Structure 1
Amino acid sequence: MSDMTPAVGQHAPDGPDGPDDATGTTRRLLLRVGSVLALFVAAGAAGGVLWERLWQAPTGLAYDGRWYLEPAGPDFSFEGIALFVLIAFPLGLVLAVLVGLWRGHETVTVVAVLVSAAVAAVVMYAVGSALGPPDPQALAAGQPDYTPLPGDLGLTAPDRGRVRWHSTALVVLPAGAMAGLVGSYLLGNWGFARRPRG
Structure 2
Amino acid sequence: MSEVADVRTTPLRRVLAVLALFVAGGAGGGVLWERLWQAPTGLAFEGRWYLEPAGPDVSFQAIALFVVISFPLGLVLALLSGMWRGHETATLVSVVVGAGVAAFVMYAVGHALGPGDPQVLAAGQPDYTPLPADLGLTAPDPGRVAWHSSALLALPAGAMTGLVATYLLGSRGLERRPRG
Residues 138-159 of structure 1, C-alpha deviation per residue, up to 9 Å, x if partnerless?
Answer: 1111111111101110000000
5 Å matches for 1:158-197?
158-188=140-170, 191=172, 196=177
Identify which of 103, 121, 129 aligns with 2:111: 129
Q: Distance in 2 between matches of 1:193 and 1:112?
A: 17
Identify which of 39, 56, 61 aligns with 2:38: 56
Gaps of 5+ in 2: none
Task: Work out the percentage of aligned pairs sharing the same amino acid.
Answer: 72
* Corresponding residue number in structure 1 for 2:61: 79
With CA pairs under 8 Å and 6+ residues apart, which has the higher RCO, 1 or 2?
2
Secondary structure in 1 aligned to 2:50? strand
- Please say if residues 187 and 193 of structure 1, whose CA atoms lie closer than 8 Å, have aligned partners that are also in contact: no
Residues 184 and 169 (structure 1), Cα distance of their counterparts in 2 relative to 1, 3 Å cut: same
Identify which of 88, 94, 97 aligns with 1:115: 97
| TM-score, scaled relative to structure 2 | 0.91
The number of residues matched between the two structures is 177
Q: Which has the larger radius of gyration?
A: 1
Q: Distance in 2 between matches of 1:135 and 1:27?
A: 46
Q: Distance in 1 between matches of 2:151 and 2:7?
A: 36
Q: CA deviation at 1:26?
A: 10
